[in-house]
Amino acid sequence: MIVETMNQEQNIKYLTSLLRNQEYTKLIHELRHDHEVDVALFMETLPDDETAFVFRMLPKEMSAEVFAHLESETQLRVVEAFSDEETTSMLNELFIDDAVDFIEEMPANMVNRILRLVSPAKRQLINRYLQYHEDSAGSIMTAEYTRLKKDMTVAEAIAHLRAVGEDRETIYTLYVTDEQRRLEGVTSIRALLLAKDEERIEQIMQHDVISATTDTDREEVAKLIQRYDFLSIPIVDQENRLVGIVTVDDAVDVLQDETTEDFRKMAAISPSEKPYLKTSFLELGKQRITWLLILMVSGMVNGIILQKNEAAWTTMPLLVSFIPMLTDTGGNVGSQSSTLMIRGMTLGEIKISDFFKVVMKESATSILIGAVLGVFSFLRVMIFDKDIIAATILALAMFVTIVMAAVIGGILPLIAEKLKLDPALMAAPLITTIVDAAALGIYFAIAAGLMSLV
Amino acid sequence: MIVETMNQEQNIKYLTSLLRNQEYTKLIHELRHDHEVDVALFMETLPDDETAFVFRMLPKEMSAEVFAHLESETQLRVVEAFSDEETTSMLNELFIDDAVDFIEEMPANMVNRILRLVSPAKRQLINRYLQYHEDSAGSIMTAEYTRLKKDMTVAEAIAHLRAVGEDRETIYTLYVTDEQRRLEGVTSIRALLLAKDEERIEQIMQHDVISATTDTDREEVAKLIQRYDFLSIPIVDQENRLVGIVTVDDAVDVLQDETTEDFRKMAAISPSEKPYLKTSFLELGKQRITWLLILMVSGMVNGIILQKNEAAWTTMPLLVSFIPMLTDTGGNVGSQSSTLMIRGMTLGEIKISDFFKVVMKESATSILIGAVLGVFSFLRVMIFDKDIIAATILALAMFVTIVMAAVIGGILPLIAEKLKLDPALMAAPLITTIVDAAALGIYFAIAAGLMSLV
């Protein structure tokens, strides 16, 4: 049977109806044929008291994988209902990275219980993993990889894989190490299968291995996997000893999390990995209010500029009505520029050394845009308000504001990077605030200049 | 030797110096030990006339892979310098998806030359692929996958892999089809290796296959691969016949391209896949000016509101100086909300059916934020301007604006989705324009009300 791809919601409804009607045999049958990810999604929709009940229906070979895909609150509910035996057996089935992810989110008393239940060897491994910084490669790597020795023959290596393969998260990329576990080369099952039985691993392995260390930033590691189309990348310690691998599926999740963080930062929202609908309004308020306050305080300078120029706009009240158009356009241009920079830097297309290229390109682009929008504003005022002085003030201010906004929006993310700040903070909200103040200053300077000429 | 991960720029400098000093033997040696992706990056830095020269230094087994990673302008330069024999030999080495990507970007006369040079079978395949819509699964799939028959034994299957593996882009996931190529199951090399030689494929394969069709949106396909941690996903036609696969590395690139498109849309920039520094200022101007003009015209309503309320702010000029603070804060709140929605919808965390949950959560959150910022604005005016009427007007307007901005920012992306528009268009720039008009309307309505009371 081919599973339709779009019917996740229907599937959940169907499973729920089986559960409600106590058709357990049928439910167990369906769960067994569903993908672990879909079973986990179904379990997320269940009321608290049914979670462990349904979880126990899963065949043993599925349960660890389903568990790894549950949200941590649901995981907690399951293990709270579990006996020590059940917990131990599942912990031993979990891959080390999934076990660590799970434990990291548990309350302290649960962590103690879990660490008591696992084998001493696993406890030691878990403890080591728990020490890696949460943004490091160490925190997302897994210990379930396959090592070969370079003097093995291909036939021996295949036999070895057939013997140990079951435990390994990925056996497609194979790492060759010496007795001290130092990384010497890399090969793949594909290469093994294409080689002759009697060839030595040393002959077929690649000697140039691209690796990362446990403290490499996890985003860097994910980008390496993406750049080189790897299925996994080896993680070594300071002595180049292989300690784990990061797999492509985890890399994809890291890239997605980092993107979400960028989106949030660029909208002046503090980072959080919790889905929106699962976040309480108090938490949401906290995540959003800090930056709003900072921006509001910085924005006070705009009020001061307006108060200082009261004489100008009481003489020519028309000037006030153009303020939103001027500042909004300036803000839009500035955030276009900063978005292009921030995204380009994330993709590795723009570097700090491109500073002058950016200034040139933003200047040229914004002179073009400024000229068009300047002429447009001039005509708009002439048609609707028939005031050539006001039209000239607005057109000039529009032009200068657009050029200034583009250059500020273009260089601030680069300057942030240089100062080791996150460029994503130099996005629309902050740029808008800065550009607004500059635009108002420019506007009234031009107005004062032109009005004194008349 | 372990390749350091961070020294790409140094590596390019070193290779360039070898080329400049005509140390070709050394250069060829280095290129041979570099990763294809890095060689492609190096070639991008070369002046036009040296590209083909360096490309010819590459060992045959690297050249197709390096070629696939070049940008299309560089690819064109290489094939323009190539003889027909060289072109034919490389085209036959390219995977079908890379060949199609390359041909799609070529000028018409080059396409004709290429199609003349490839074998009739490959030409037919290329023509078929060229017909798929550029956003469809068909456009990113590859034909180089491995098929098995369900009555093969494991030993036969392994022998088959060893015979055909060389041509296949991925042999890790194996698809089982009947005589009519209809998809019947899926298995992996891992499962093969762990099974006994005499078992039949039918016994070890999974029967529930998650697949997509050639016209499924490529982003959907990439999300399926991500959700289920697949290395590849089968693509079938309307009769469920297997026609290709999409691999995880291409899925990662699709997700990244879609993210970049979202970032651009959310900053009111038209889509483009060209890197910023390779885009001329004329193109950049064109990509940016359309939305700026639309927003500027829509923003005119703000000017009208201000003109209509001239009496209010000439009576109390202090009101003018609060306008930027009010509209900026409203814009920031609105873009926070819309960003949370747009990203949540992309991640599948928020659906149209969550409309009322969103309204409730945005209301609760913004009442909290509005209360805090309202009190803050009140105190600010009392301290600096000592005007209780103005303070009350601003505080009330701030509160109402924030709640209104959050709700508008929260629901517009959902409404866009319902209307089959792209939610990413309902981002900061458009939200700001809408919220500004509403904020000004609210502000002067409150001002008029309070001032008439005094």
Kindly report the backbone phi and psi dihedral angles of residue B182, in degrees, each rounded to the nearest multiple of 5, phi listed first.
-75, 135
Average pLDDT over residues A170-190: 89
Of A5, A291, A340, the CB nearest to B212: A5
Task: For an interface test with A, give the residue of B97, B190, B345 to mutate (most A CBs within 10 A).
Answer: B190
Nearest to B208 among A33, A282, A336 (CB): A33
* Integer Cα distance of B4 and B8 in angstroms: 9
Is any Cβ of chain A less than 8 angstroms from the Cβ of B267? Answer: yes
Q: Do A340 and B269 touch (CB under 8 A)?
A: yes
**Residues of chain B positioned with their CB less than 8 A from the CB of A208:** 1-3, 33-35
Between chains, do A276 and B328 touch, taking CB under 8 Å as contact? no
B166 by Cβ neighbours in 10 Å (0-12 / 13-18 / 19+) ranks as: exposed
CB atoms within 10 A of CB A438: 21
Contacts of A380 in chain B (CB under 8 A): 300
Which residues in chain A are contacts of B329 at CB distance < 8 A? 292, 295-296, 299
Q: Which alpha helices (H) appear in B212-280, and where do they start and end?
A: 218-227, 248-266
pLDDT for position A2: 42
Q: What is the pLDDT of residue A401?
A: 95
Confidence class for position A213, pLDDT limits 50, 70, 90: very high
> Which of B252, B255, B268 is closest, CB to CB, to A336?
B268
Indicate which of B252, B293, B401 best probes the interface with A, i.e. most A CBs within 10 Å of its own CB: B252
Give the CATH fold of the A279-453 domain. Tetracycline Repressor; domain 2 (1.10.357)
% of chain A surpassing 70 pLDDT? 98
The secondary structure of A328-355 as a DSSP string is HHHHHHHHHHHHHHHHHHHTTS--GGGH
In single-letter form, the type of residue at position A184 comes to E
Residue B23 pLDDT > 60? yes
By Cβ distance, the residue of B172, B300, B318 closest to A172 is: B172
Q: Does B160 touch chain A (CB under 8 A)?
A: no
Q: Give yes or no for residue B214 having a pLDDT over 70.
A: yes
The confidence score (pLDDT) of residue B454 equals 67
CA distances from B250 to A248, A286, B26, B254 (A): 12, 38, 33, 6
B5 has a pLDDT exceeding 80 = no
- How far apart are the CA of A83 and the nearest CA of chain B, in angstroms? 29
A37 touches chain B (CB under 8 A): yes
CB within 8 Å: B256 and A255: yes
Q: Which residues of A touch B216 (CB under 8 A)?
A: 5
Query: Which chain A residues touch B377 with a CB distance below 8 Å?
Result: 296
Mean pLDDT, residues A217-238 taken together:
91
pLDDT tens per residue, range A97-141? 888 888 888 888 888 888 888 887 788 888 888 888 888 898 888
What pLDDT score does A402 carry? 96
**Does B159 contact chain A (CB < 8 Å)?**
no
**Cβ distance of A281 and B343 shorter than 8 Å:** no
Q: Do B299 and A266 touch (CB under 8 A)?
A: no
> Distance (Å) from the C-alpha of residue A151 to the closest C-alpha of chain B?
18
Q: Show residues of chain A in contact with B266, CB under 8 Å.
A: 339
The whole-angstrom separation of Cα B190 and Cα B208 is: 18
Residue B60: count of CB within 10 angstroms of its CB: 9
Q: Does the beta-carbon distance from A276 to B331 stay under 8 Å?
A: no
Angle between the N-to-C axes of helices A60-68 and A36-44, in degrees from 0 to 180, rounded to the nearest 10? 60
Residue A336 tokens, joined? 């276009």
Instruction: Give yes or no for residue A158 having a pLDDT over 60.
Output: yes
> What pLDDT does residue A123 have?
82
Q: Does B231 touch chain A (CB under 8 A)?
A: yes
Q: Using a CB-CB distance cutoff of 8 angstroms, which residues of chain A are in contact with residue B249?
A: 226, 229, 248
| Residue A137: its H or E element | helix A137-140
Smallest CA–CA separation between B433 and chain A, in Å? 7
Query: Band of the pLDDT at B60, cuts 50, 70, 90?
Result: confident
Sign of CA dihedral A97, A100, A106, A110: positive
Q: Match domain A8-131 to its CATH number in 1.25.60.10, 3.90.740.10, 1.20.120.420, 3.40.190.10.
A: 1.25.60.10
CA distance A46 to chain B (A): 17
Query: CA-CA distance, B26 to B11, in Å (whole number)?
Result: 13
DSSP state of B200: B
Contacts B253 to A, Cβ<8 Å:
226
Top-tier CATH class for B147-261: alpha beta
| pLDDT at position A356 over 90 | yes
Chain B CB contacts of A300 under 8 Å are 325, 380
Q: Tell me the mean pLDDT in the region B383-396.
A: 92
Candidates B370, B344, B349; CA nearest to B426 is: B344
pLDDT at A215 over 60: yes
- Kindly state whether A298 is in contact with chain B, defined as any CB-CB distance less than 8 angstroms: no
Q: What is the pLDDT of residue A454?
A: 67
| Helix (H), strand (E) at residue B10 | helix B8-20
User: Shortest CB distance from B285 goes to which of A259, A341, A368?
Assistant: A368
Mean pLDDT of B200-223: 91
What lies within 8 Å, CB to CB, of B35 at 6+ separation is A208, A210, A228, B3
CB pairs under 8 A between A and B: 341
Closest CA to A60 of A22, A89, A84: A89
* Residue A1 pLDDT exceeds 50: no
CA angle B335, B338, B344 (to 5 degrees): 135
In CATH terms, the superfamily for domain B280-453 is SLC41 divalent cation transporters, integral membrane domain (1.10.357.20)
- Asked if the Cβ–Cβ distance from A277 to B357 is below 8 Å, we say yes
CB contact under 8 A, B171 and A162: no
- Beta-carbon contacts of A48 under 8 Å, excluding residues fewer than 6 positions away, are A77
H or E stretch including A2?
strand A2-3
Question: What are the boundaries of each domain within chain B?
Answer: 8-131, 147-261, 280-453
**CA torsion sign, B9 to B15 to B21 to B26?**
positive
Strands B209-210 and A2-3, bridge-based pairing: parallel
Which DSSP state fits A131? Answer: T
Contacts with B165 from chain A: Cβ below 8 Å: 190, 193-194
Tell me the mean pLDDT in the region A31-45: 89
Q: Which of B72, B64, B56, B46 is nearest to B24 (CA)?
A: B56
Contacts of A226 in chain B (CB under 8 A): 249, 252-253, 256
**CB contacts, 8 Å: B340 with chain A:** 264, 267, 269, 276
Tokens 């290779």 appear where?
A: B15
- What's residue B266's pLDDT? 86
Residue of B227, B313, B372 best to disrupt the A interface, most CBs of A under 10 A: B227
Residue with tokens 């080059």: B110
Q: Do A313 and B325 touch (CB under 8 A)?
A: no
Q: Which of B360, B143, B348 is nearest to B245 (CA)?
A: B143
Write out the two tokens for A409: 């929006």
Residue of B nearest to A164 (CA): B194
Region B212-228 average pLDDT: 92
What's the average model confidence in pLDDT over B105-124?
A: 82
So what's the pLDDT on residue B320?
87
Say yes or no to pLDDT of B2 above 50: no
Say whether A277 and B302 touch across the interface (CB within 8 A). no
The 10 Å CB-count burial string (b at 16+, else e) for B427-439 is bbbbbbbbbbbbb
